[in-house]
Amino acid sequence: MAFCSKCGKEINDGQKFCPGCGAPADGSTANATNSGATPTVDLSDRIANFTNTADTTSEFAVNDIQENKVFAILAYLGILFIVPLLAAPNSKFARYHANQGSVLFITLLAVLIVSLIFGLIPVLGIIIRVILYLCFLTLLVIGIVNAAQGKAKELPLIGGIKLFK
**With 0-12 CB in 10 A as exposed, 13-18 as middle and 19+ as buried, what is 154?**
buried
**pLDDT given for residue 40 in this prediction:** 59
Write down the pLDDT at residue 29: 43
Which of 80, 95, 55, 75 is closest to 148 using CA atoms? 75
CA 85, CA 88: separation in Å to the nearest integer?
6
Query: For residues 94 and 88, what is the distance between their CA atoms, to the nearest angstrom?
Result: 7
Please give the Cα distance from 98 to 138 (Å, whole number). 18
Instruction: Tell me the backbone φ, ψ of residue 24, rounded to 5 degrees.
Output: -60, 140
- Render each residue's pLDDT in the chain as its tens digit; 165 residues: 677 777 777 788 777 777 777 778 764 443 434 444 455 567 777 777 777 888 999 999 999 999 999 999 999 999 999 999 999 999 999 999 999 999 999 999 998 998 889 888 888 888 988 999 999 999 999 999 999 999 999 999 999 999 987
Q: Judge contact between 157 and 96, C-beta under 8 A.
A: no
* pLDDT value at residue 56: 93
Single-letter amino acid code for the residue at 101 = G
pLDDT at 30: 39
Q: What is the pLDDT of residue 26?
A: 63
DSSP code at position 23: P
- Residues in the chain, total: 165
